[in-house]
Chain A
Amino acid sequence: MNLKDYIASGIIESYVMGLASESERAEFEQMCTQHPELVAERRKFEERLEHHTSEHAVVPPSEVKVKIFEALGNIDSRPMSSSNPPKGIITMENAKSPRNAGWLRFAAAAAVILLIGTVVLYYQASQEIKDLKASNQDLSGTVQRLKIRVDTTQNILDRLANVDNVVSDPNTTVVNMVGTKVAPKSSANIYWDSTNTSVYLVVKNMPKLPSDQQYQLWALIDSKPKDLGVFDATDNNVILKMKNTQKAQAFAITIEKKGGSPSPDLKKLQSMGKTMLTQ
């Protein structure tokens, strides 16, 4: 077949419009490499087709362009492959050439800056959280200690209120216990409610005792001692409810073995106070 017949066969149009078969395409491309006239004829038809199609262009909706560029932005922000795949093989990576427009570099730089910023913020935030956790722990410790202190204080206040009640009761007799020669600094107050026979003791200053000894309070009734109970020197400044007594000419404090004795060891008389009843 000569070239003129080949051109007149409609192969050019069939090829350009994508209607030629595989074998026809291969043959046509082969012919083009050998016959510049064929290429020129092909170009002529292509130009006509382009011209005609462009003249009959239909304006697409304006949002399509925006969508395309958004989509391309997503494609090109993916990591780029620096290796060039062999020509003719179309891969996804092929579309991501390392040569890129300025805006892509800007986008990459922005992404890196964003990443760094995020890391810095994350680091700062985690530091802050760590600090907050530590100070929170400190605070909860402090709160715990304060709670204990409040509890103790409340306890003391309750007891003091108790003392106040007893002390301010007009029926209560206050007996000021003074130190003896053996223990001149020892002092305590006895609050004795003679109507309901209650006896309260407030230790003001009593020396500390060995752990096997305790102080013991006695009531002296007609010169006979009556046990009113034991207490420790550590019960400083708190009001202690002792055993009741209906009568007492005097109160005495002795040092006895732990738990108290049935009768006082008067050699160890620490403190003594007479009630008004005997005066």
Chain B
Amino acid sequence: MGIPTTYTEQELVLALKERNNQAFAYLYDNYAGALYSIIKQIITDNNELASDVLQEVFINIWRKIESYDQTKGRLFTWMLNIARNASIDTLRSKSYQNSQKNQELPDNVYKGVANQTTQQNVDNIGLKKVLEKLKPEHRVLVELAYFKGFTHEEIAEMMTIPLGTVKTRIRNALLQLREYLK
């Protein structure tokens, strides 16, 4: 068996489904950084936890590769959604919520404008950087939906906006995002 240094997506998927270890190493070397970036944009304050999630994500990719259906999207899209879902699950886990409560108590003193600006500086990576270009009322919805994992219904309730409006605004925001990704 030769050792390919590059794979087309087609070859890579095939090799992964054949449980080719080399292909999996290649997958990690080429995509771990991108997936880690999205994980860190969701789990913003705990690098150790973020790297635990990255580990979990790759193990899930290896386990679930059989279920990946190329007709429904690119391999990267599939992996990105696994990473996003795993990060949001962690964010919403009880143990994470508890650790947040403990950490946030002293921060409450500075809650307000000052805190928001530092928060923004920390978040200035990847997609979040692009989000800054959106109108604030759009940005907050994408932030809540994509990075916090709230459903449209939850957001509608939280923001006291009709569900239809939430949906429309998010769709519009994503279309703008598409333009900024060019």
A binds B: yes
Taking Cβ atoms with an 8 Å cutoff, the residues of A that contact B are 8-11, 13-14, 16-19, 21, 29, 32-33, 42-43, 45-54, 56-61, 63-65, 67-69, 71-72, 75-76, 87-88, 90, 92, 94-95, 97, 99-104
Do the beta carbons of A68 and B59 come within 8 Å of each other?
yes
- How many residues on chain B are close to A (CB under 8 Å)? 57
Residues of B within 8 Å of A67, CB to CB, are 55
Instruction: Give the secondary structure class of A's interface.
Output: helix
Residues of A within 8 Å of B170, CB to CB, are 10, 14, 19
Residues of A within 8 Å of B28, CB to CB, are 65, 68
Residues of A within 8 Å of B94, CB to CB, are none
Taking Cβ atoms with an 8 Å cutoff, the residues of B that contact A are 1, 17-22, 24-25, 28, 31-34, 36-38, 40, 47, 51, 54-55, 58-59, 62-67, 71-74, 76-77, 80-81, 84-85, 125-127, 129-130, 145-146, 152, 170-172, 174-175, 177-178, 181-182
Smallest distance from the beta carbon of A49 to chain B beta carbons, Å? 6
Smallest distance from the beta carbon of B140 to chain A beta carbons, Å? 14
Residues of B within 8 Å of A21, CB to CB, are 152
Do the beta carbons of B36 and A46 come within 8 Å of each other?
no
Known contacts: A13-B175, A59-B36, A60-B36. The answer to whether A53 contacts B80 by CB under 8 A is: yes
Residues of A within 8 Å of B84, CB to CB, are 18
Known contacts: A29-B72, A60-B32. The answer to whether A53 contacts B38 by CB under 8 A is: yes
Instruction: Give the secondary structure class of B's interface.
Output: helix
Smallest distance from the beta carbon of A149 to chain B beta carbons, Å? 71
Do the beta carbons of A92 and B63 come within 8 Å of each other?
yes
Do the beta carbons of B145 and A19 come within 8 Å of each other?
yes
Known contacts: A16-B77, A95-B63. The answer to whether A64 contacts B171 by CB under 8 A is: no
Which residue of the partner chain A has the closest CB to B172?
A10
